[in-house]
Each structure stands twice: as structure tokens, then as C-alpha cells.
Structure 1
């Protein structure tokens, strides 16, 4: 059994030049006993954005703070606190936060999707 709090785990900020203001923290994965999946929290600072990418696994997301857009195959979908999304496998996608609001969300992926 695992019980914890998200504030007890530090965000690891991406240093990749193709993203802006992105951090991630792994909450639960194989080390905690969930062998096939990883639950993490992704944080985009105001006006931040993630990679524009695709891969052969889906993302399951629950938005816990802020506002932004999820872009799938070039179409923008507004996202906000309390919302959820499923990004299908092999679809080009990217997240962007709004200028005045960051965006924080739970992201569940298969273990091969967590780098």
C-alpha cells in the first residue's frame, strides 16, 4: 500500500529546448508496485508548452489546476481544472497553458511511455 502527498515529491524541470516551462513528477510506477503503468503529474508554467509529438501509447489525463489547450492532430481542445482527456495512441499532440494560468494534470501512461 502507498499513501503520499504530491507536495512531497519535487518536480523535475525539462531542460529540452523544444519545451517551455515544463516539469514532471512521477507519483506511482513499478517501484511502488504498479508494474505496467506510471502515474505522474505534469506542470506547465504560464505560457508554457510541451513537446509536439506522437507515440504508440495513449495518455489518460485529469486536469487538477489551471487552464490551457490540448492540441491533437492540429485541432485545439480547451482543458481546465476538473476536466479529463484521453489522447489516443499514434496521434500528434501537445499541451499549452494559457498566458495567465499554468496547467497541472495527472498523466497515466504505460511504463514504456515514461522517460
Structure 2
């Protein structure tokens, strides 16, 4: 069993032409013995965004803090604290922070997907 504060995990920072102001953490993954899923947390700075992309695996996302939008089904959809999103495999998607505080999202991916 693993119990800890998520901020104890050192973040990986992404800040380039495709991802801006993103800090990602693997909270539970292969190193913890997780065989079916990887749990990740992303903090997206105000004005920041993840890359727009698609891949074979699905995402389950829970938005913990902040305000933003998720691109899916050809449009931007507003999200905030307490919202959930399901992104099916092979669906183009992107997250962007439209607020003035960090947007924090917890994301699950299956074990075959890259952890970060």
C-alpha cells in the first residue's frame, strides 16, 4: 500500500512549443507495483496548455482545482473543480487553463500507456 501527499512526488516540467506551463507527476505507477493503471497529476499554470494529441488509450480525468477547457469532439468544453472527463481512445484532445490559478487534473491511463 502507498499513502502520501501527491506534492511529495517531484514534478516533470513541460514548457515548449507544444506544451506550456505543465508540471506532471506519476502518483501511482509501475514502480509502485501497479499492474493495471497509472495515476498521474498535472498542474497547468494560468495560460498554459497540454499538447493537442490523440492516442490509442482512453483517459479518465478528475479536475481538482482551477478553471479551464478540454478540447474534444471538435470543440472546447469548460471544466472546473469537481468536473470529470472521459476521453475515448483515438480522440483528439487538449487541456488549457483559462483561469488565474493553477488547473490541477488527476488522470488515469492503462498500464500499456507511457506514464508521462
TM-score by length of 2: 0.92
Cα separation, 2, equivalents of 1:75 and 1:90 = 16
Match of 2:110 in 1: 110
In the alignment, the residues of structure 1 paired with residue 45 and residue 112 of structure 2 have an alpha-carbon distance, to the nearest angstrom, of: 26
Query: What stretches of structure 1 of length at least 5 have no aligned partner?
Result: none
Residue 24 of structure 2 contacts residue 41 of structure 2 at CA under 8 Å; is this kept in 1? yes
Q: Deviations over 1:56-97 (max 9, x none)?
A: 001100111101000013211111011111111101000000
Matches within 5 A, 1:1-115: 1-113=1-113, 114-115=115-116
Q: Report if aligned partners of 1:66, 1:102 keep a CA contact under 8 Å in 2.
A: yes
Secondary structure of 1:106 counterpart? strand
Count of aligned positions: 115
| Structure 1 residue 8, shift from structure 2 partner | 1.0
Give distance in 2, aligned partners of 1:6 and 1:109.
17
**Displacement of 1:14:** 1.2
Deviation at 1:99, TM superposition (A): 4.3
Question: 2:30 and 2:80 mapped to 1: Cα distance?
Answer: 29
Counterpart-to-counterpart distance in 1, 2:59 and 2:86: 6
Alpha-carbon distance in structure 2 between the residues aligned to 1:94 and 1:70: 6
**CA RMSD between the two structures:** 1.3
